[in-house]
Amino acid sequence: MGTVTLGVSIAVPEPYGSRLQRARLGFGDAAAAGIPTHVTLLPPTEVDAALRPAIEEHLAAVAATERPFPMRLSGTGTFRPLSPVVFVRVVEGSAACGRLQERLRDPAGPLARELLFPYHPHVTVAHGIAEEAMDRASVELAGYQAAWRVAGFALYEQDADAVWALRREFLFAPAASSAGRPLGPPPRVA
């Protein structure tokens, strides 16, 4: 049956997601066309395709015991020089994201894995592009703001062209009717 590359993330809802994706493309990060705007909970992970039912069962079990929480993005940061990434900061919701990613990677579960770097929730807006373009991303999005209520997470699969496709959403219980709805005014994208 082979292997598949999976990832689990919190989607950045509209209108924020497409605005950040367009900004990322505008900085010259062509990979953004195949990556929905998100906060990663489980980075790209290669698994045996036969494990998908067990993985989905695990994800559903984790989601069933979680509750919606507020997420707020504000300003930019970078992982440079360690990693060529500029990101929008998660300033509210970090603890909930940290708890979720630990539960998803539970050593007894089907997605057990070690991370290359300590977990740091963020929204990538530039990755592996020219330094000048990363500097521009950092400056132009420094005043960026967005807020919404997170009501679940999603499973994505990467195809042969490195495009990430949504496979299934997992809602927290009880699912909030305000899922994905902005909590504040629309963000400014410089």
> Domain segments of the chain: what residues?
3-171
Here the tokens at position 88 are 């929008």
What proportions of the chain, in percent to the nearest 5, are helix, strand and coil? 30, 35, 35
Here the tokens at position 59 are 């994800």
Task: State residue 4 phi and psi, 5-degree precision.
Answer: -135, 155
Give the pLDDT confidence score for residue 184 in this predicted structure: 45
Residue 116 · residue 82 · CB < 8 Å: no
Here the tokens at position 20 are 């950040």
Work out the pLDDT band at 111, boundaries 50, 70, 90. very high
Residue of higher predicted confidence among 132 and 173: 132
Lowest mean pLDDT, pick from 18-22, 95-99, 127-131, 184-188 = 184-188
Work out the pLDDT band at 1, boundaries 50, 70, 90. confident
DSSP bridge partners of 123: 88
Q: What is the CA radius of gyration of the chain?
A: 16
Give the pLDDT confidence score for residue 137 in this predicted structure: 97
SS3 for 97?
Answer: helix
Q: Residue 186 above 60 pLDDT? A: no
Alpha-carbon dihedral sign for residues 41, 94, 22, 19: positive
Give the mean pLDDT of 38-66: 96
Q: Which fold has domain 3-171?
A: Cyclic Phosphodiesterase; Chain: A, (3.90.1140)
Give the mean pLDDT of 26-42: 95
Give the mean pLDDT of 1-14: 95
Residue of higher predicted confidence among 45 and 181: 45
Residue 97 · residue 142 · CB < 8 Å: no
Work out the pLDDT band at 82, boundaries 50, 70, 90. confident
Residue 152 · residue 117 · CB < 8 Å: no
Give 185: exposed, middle or buried? Use CB within 10 Å, 0-12, 13-18, 19+. Answer: exposed
Here the tokens at position 121 are 């929730």
